[in-house]
Amino acid sequence: MAYLSLSQVTKRFGAVTAVDRLDLDIAEGECVAMLGPSGCGKTTTLRMVAGFEDLDDGEIRAGDKLLSSRRKNYYLPPERRNFGMVFQAFAVWPHLSVFDNIAFPLRVRRLPRAEIEARTAEALAHTNLTAAAKGSPDDLSGGGKQRVALARALAIRPDVMLLDEPLSSLDPHFREEMRFEIKDLQRRFGFAILYVTHDQAEAMALSDRLLVMREGVVQQVGTPLEVYRAPANRFVFEFIGLSSFLPAALGAGAMRVGGEHARWPASAPPPPELVAAGAAVLAARPTEIEFVAEGGLRGAVARKAFLGETIDYRIAVGDVEVRVQKSRHVAGPAVGESCALAFPRARWYPQD
């Protein structure tokens, strides 16, 4: 049985549908990331799971317990849902000590004193905060405050943790460290995570499964590797990583891009329905485009920037500009020189 289950969850704000019939099942110990640009509905979904917003349609369940349902007119308030939650701005209480922050949910549940002490001490130890227990959270850095928030959420040993962009307020240096800490904690305690972020690298590094959203609609659900290598549509392709898009006219075995002709890639031919349509968009990652001596799409180097590890090229293929990135170890053409490009791992999408 799924730990957390959302079915046909919908939320409207006036005329705008913020979340459109979202389905998601999260298994025990699984980390699922909701990824998308701001305003896509991911945070609204999380807040509905937490209980801060009600639904316009659909149901949310935890195991076999119903949490929210518009049809059945049922709504369990947040304080009774037993989730752990971490917010973007930490939401750690400055007027309570670190210890009292973490002990708060335990005290509210009126657990016996000894157990409160024990569990709080454990949470402190697991987040490396034992030394800071008596002080105020304000004495800690952003990363420290986030650890307090994590410890507080962990104290009640929840089955599911809800994380709302927990790393975006942190210094870039700390983000990676905290990411690993969250993963370690998950492995140790075995809770499931529903994670909201707009940073695709973060989402891919952390999650077991990834859900990409746009304007309230789910675009794709899959493992990070699946979503990266086989994006369901052009939006997902573009959102997850660097991209080069080439509008192409398709003929028999060949494509025409920006006035130049080439055979389409043998290892990645366009699907028949797009060939029938006669036109498509070739999508490729700049790092996966190859310079070939012959047989590729001909173009000239318009720009070449040395970025250290990589060299960033802009190749003009007729009036289309293609971005190519190669390691500095690979000898590439100079500015103005002509070259030929191959796309062995291309993906094809319909032209809109």
Partner 1 sequence: MAEVSIRGLGKRYGAKRVLDDLELDLVDGECFTLLGPSGCGKTVLLRLIAGFEAPDAGTIHLGGQCVADGAAGQVVPPNERGLGVVFQDYAVWPHMNVADNVGYPLKLAGVDAALRRERTRAAIAQVGLAGLDERLPSQLSGGQQQRVALARALVSEPRLLLLDEPLNNLDANLREEMRFEIKALQKKLGITILYVTHDQEIALGIADRLAVMDATGRLRQVGTPEEIYARPADDFVFRFLGIANFLPVRRVGDALRLGSGSDPWSGPPPDRPGAALAAGFRPSDVLLARSGPGLPGTVRRASFLGAQVDYLIDVAGTLVRVTTPSHECVERDLLFVEGETCRIGFAAVQWFEGDVVAGVAR
Partner 2 sequence: MTSAVATTSRFGTPQVLLGLSIAILVIVVAVPVLLIFVNAFWVDGHFNVADVIKVLREKDTYQALLNSLILASGVTVTGTVVGTFFAWLVTRTDLPLKGAMKVLFLVPFMLPSFIGALAWKMLLSPRSGYINRFFIEVLGFDGPVFDIYTYAGIIAVETMYLFPFVFIQVAGALERMDPTLEESARISGADLFTITRKITIPLVLPSILSGALLIMLYSMAHFGTVAVLGIEAGIYNIPTLIYEKIHQSAGSFNSIRTGTVLATVLVITAAFILWLQNRVLARGRYQIIAGKSFRPTEVKLRGLRMPMLAFCLAYIGFTIVLPTATIFMVGGLKTYGLPFAAENFTWENYRYILFEWDLTRDAIWNSISLGFAAAVITMFAGVIISYVIVKMKVRGKGVLEFLGMLPFSVPGSVIALGVILAWSGKYGVNLYNTVWIILVAYIARYMAFSLKANSAALEQVHDSLVEAARASGATMWQALRDVVLPLVRPGMLAAFFLIFLPALRELTVSVLLYGPTTRTIGVAIYTLNEDGETVYSAALAGIALIIIIVGESVIKRLFKGAAGRKG
Angle between helices 98-108 and 142-154 (to 10 degrees): 20
Measured in degrees and rounded to the nearest 5, phi and psi for residue 48 equal: -70, -40
Taking CA 313 as the corner, what is the angle to CA 312 and CA 316, rounded to the nearest 5 degrees?
A: 160
From first CA to last CA, the distance across the chain in angstroms is 40
Q: Which is nearer to partner 1, 172 or 272 (CB)?
A: 172
Using rule CB under 8 A, residue 334 touches partner 1: no
List Cβ neighbours of 155 (8 Å cut-off, separation of 6 or more).
Answer: 102, 103, 105, 106, 119, 120, 123
Using rule CB under 8 A, residue 241 touches partner 1: yes
Task: Single out the residue of 107, 109, 188, 303 in contact with partner 1 (rule: CB under 8 A).
Answer: 303
Q: Which is nearer to partner 1, 68 or 325 (CB)?
A: 325
212 contacts which partner out of partner 2, partner 1, none, CB within 5 to 8 A by kind? none
Task: Single out the residue of 287, 316, 318, 333 in contact with partner 1 (rule: CB under 8 A).
Answer: 287
29 contacts which partner out of partner 2, partner 1, none, CB within 5 to 8 A by kind? none
What is the spatial distance between Cα 223 and Cα 35, in angstroms, rounded to a whole number?
12
204 contacts which partner out of partner 2, partner 1, none, CB within 5 to 8 A by kind? partner 1
Q: 10 Å Cβ neighbour count for 268?
A: 15
Q: 10 Å Cβ neighbour count for 227?
A: 26
Strands 160-164 and 192-197, sheet pairing? parallel
Task: Single out the residue of 25, 288, 290, 321 in contact with partner 1 (rule: CB under 8 A).
Answer: 288
152 contacts which partner out of partner 2, partner 1, none, CB within 5 to 8 A by kind? partner 2
Task: Single out the residue of 107, 109, 188, 328 in contact with partner 1 (rule: CB under 8 A).
Answer: 328
Using rule CB under 8 A, residue 141 touches partner 1: no
Using rule CB under 8 A, residue 305 touches partner 1: yes
307 contacts which partner out of partner 2, partner 1, none, CB within 5 to 8 A by kind? partner 1
Return the structure tokens found at 92. 């750690």
Positions 163 through 182 that interact with partner 1 (CB under 8 A)? 173, 180
Using rule CB under 8 A, residue 335 touches partner 1: no
Number of H helices, E strands in the chain: 9, 21
Report yes or no: 267 and 345 within 8 Å, Cβ to Cβ.
yes
Which x/- pattern over 90-119 shows residues binding partner 1 (rule: CB under 8 A)?
Answer: ------------------------------
What is the spatial distance between Cα 348 and Cα 267, in angstroms, rounded to a whole number?
12
Strands 297-306 and 310-317, sheet pairing? antiparallel
Q: Which is nearer to partner 1, 94 or 344 (CB)?
A: 344
Residue 156, helix vs strand vs coil = coil
Using rule CB under 8 A, residue 306 touches partner 1: yes
Residue 42, amino acid:
K
Residue 241, amino acid:
G
Using rule CB under 8 A, residue 307 touches partner 1: yes
79 contacts which partner out of partner 2, partner 1, none, CB within 5 to 8 A by kind? partner 2
Per CB under 8 A, residues contacting partner 1 are: 173, 180, 200-201, 204-205, 224-225, 228-229, 240-242, 285, 287-288, 303, 305-309, 312, 327-329, 345
